[in-house]
């Protein structure tokens, strides 16, 4: 599920229970534009089910550790669609752009 080298069906990085959280600490600042989620199709699932597929999820970010999170999007992964689904994130203007519009 999350940064796995072995993507063989049944060899995923699973959460215990019905909810989970992933935190990524990146080595350098970046502005993400999308997040991609992949889950196997029911037809190739070892259990014959995709009940473990993610459904409702949110993506948040912080500019600096310790700051308040900014919601970048709320999404629904649909197991009836493609196995790989990409969701665009909200991209805010840069601070310079925001400051420039205030003076007008």
Summarised one tens digit per residue, pLDDT across range 23-59 is 888 888 888 899 998 888 888 887 888 888 888 999 9
**pLDDT value at 7 more than 80:** no
Any idea what DSSP says for residue 98? H
Token match 């473990």: residue?
52
Q: Which two tokens stand for residue 67?
A: 């700051």
**pLDDT value at 100 more than 80:** no
pTM for the model: 0.72
- Kindly tell me the burial class for residue 67, based on how many C-beta atoms sit within 10 Å of its own C-beta (0-12, 13-18, 19 or more): exposed
Task: Find the helix or strand (DSSP H, E) in which 95 lies.
Answer: helix 95-102
Q: What is the largest CA-CA distance in the chain?
A: 60
**pLDDT value at 99 more than 50:** no
Instruction: Determine the Cα–Cα distance for residues 89 and 72; give it in Å rounded to an integer.
Output: 5
| Band (85; pLDDT cuts 50, 70, 90) | very high
């Amino acid at each position: 599920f999350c940064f796995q080298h072995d993507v063989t069906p049944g060899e995923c990085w699973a959460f215990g229970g019905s909810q989970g959280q992933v935190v990524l600490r990146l080595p350098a600042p970046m502005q993400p534009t999308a997040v991609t989620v992949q889950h196997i199709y029911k037809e190739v699932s070892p259990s014959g089910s995709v009940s473990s597929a993610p459904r409702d999820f949110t993506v948040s970010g912080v500019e600096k550790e310790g700051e308040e999170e900014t919601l970048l999007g709320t999404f629904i992964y649909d197991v009836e669609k493609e196995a790989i689904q990409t969701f665009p994130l909200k991209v805010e203007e840069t601070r310079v752009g925001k400051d420039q519009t205030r003076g007008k």
